[in-house]
Amino acid sequence: MKYLGFLKDKLHKFILLNQNRSIVLLYHRVFNAERDPQLLCVSVDNFTNQIKSIKKNFNVLSLEELAYYIRLRKIPNKSVVLTFDDGYLDNFIYAKPILEYYQVPATIFVTCNYIDKDKEFWWDELESILLYKKNLPNNLELFINGKNYLWNLNEDDEYFWNDIEMWDVTKGDLGSKRLKLYFDLHEILKLLNFNERETILNYLRIWAGINVYECRKFYRCMNLEELIAIKKSCFINVGSHGMTHSLLSNQDLKELEYEIITSKDFMERRLQQNIDQFSYPFGGFNDFNDEALNLVKKAQYESAVANFSGLVTKDTNLFKIPRYLVRNWGEDLFLHNLNKWFYAK
């Protein structure tokens, strides 16, 4: 039996390695950030070199073309697709000119409720309050969905400020009470709907002594004028990333319809074009469910992308297209990772 299992595994790998495959890349930001704790930013220089490398070494497709080929069950080999999540302003300021110069197509998935608002995405605002604000109160108490939470930050500031400059989420909380609070609140807010999340953020601003809210210059979503300019590009398409970037697997049916169906109608009315692609917020295996996937189909999206890694083949589910997350890598490391992914067993 073990031998038969071994042969079956070998056959599966042989078939996989001898069929055409594509890779979909997931970007968030093209921005030279001073701090990037969530590792969302690729610098302008690194992004330029990554695009040059893609153009030189691979077949570049749009997401629409990839969806077409999946339906045909015929994938162009070693093809690469670019996507962006969230809809940050820097996608318009920095990514768009580079993509157009090198004639590389991309799809930008926009979080609709942040359009035309001088407001940061909730994870950025949480970062701004907890990681960059000095002299926070010693204690924070919150009552959320029937549960009481209490954090103590006393005597943590000196230790925290010695480590925060080079810190990112992959390094854990380093024993810091403030970083633990950041991790805890990020996970709590991720589970809430938009209104619940805004209530907590409003309370945190008051608690932190932030009397006037100011959105950092490049931390807002694109506005409608910028999205219309994006729409006119021959190389960039716009898709929906939901209304409020809420965890779909934690929403009821009415909230799911708002995130998936209303976001499509919202974008189509404002941009006067079809919105055919959807990106699941967060996008991990447990971040959306069959109910959400069926609503994506019901809304007549042509495809949907997730946020777990994997190759795209002729057998890929059009509504669970995997993507590889791109970090702020130089050209050599970027090319190394792409080749590694293409030949993953």
DSSP 257: H
Rounded Cα gap, residues 31 and 46, in angstroms: 10
pLDDT band at 51 (very low <50, low <70, confident <90, very high): very high
Task: Give kind and range of the element (H or E) at residue 142.
Answer: strand 139-144
Whether 50 contacts 327, CB under 8 Å: no
172-205 pLDDT, tens digit each:
988 889 999 999 999 999 999 999 999 999 999 9
Q: What is the pLDDT of residue 154?
A: 79
* DSSP letter (8 states) at residue 39: -
> What's the mean per-residue pLDDT of the chain?
92
The SS3 assignment for 244 reads coil
Angle at alpha carbon of residue 120, lines to 90 and 176, rounded to 5°:
105
- Greater confidence, 217 or 101? 101
Which pLDDT score, from 0 to 100, does residue 18 have?
57
> Which single residue is written with the structure tokens 């701004």?
128
Q: Please state the length of the chain.
A: 345
Per-residue model confidence (pLDDT) at position 342: 92
Q: CA-based diameter of the chain, in Å?
A: 68
pLDDT for the residue 298: 97
Rounded mean pLDDT of 60-74?
97
pLDDT of residue 159: 58
pLDDT(162) > 90 = no
What integer is the mean pLDDT of 103-116?
Answer: 97
Rounded Cα distance between 178 and 184, Å, is: 10
Over residues 290-310, the pLDDT tens digits come to 999 999 999 999 999 999 999
Residues of the chain with CATH 3.20.20.370: 22-119+220-342
Is the CATH number 3.40.50.300 carried by domain 22-119+220-342?
Answer: no
- Cα–chain center distance at 251: 19
Phi, psi of 204 (to 5 degrees): -65, -35
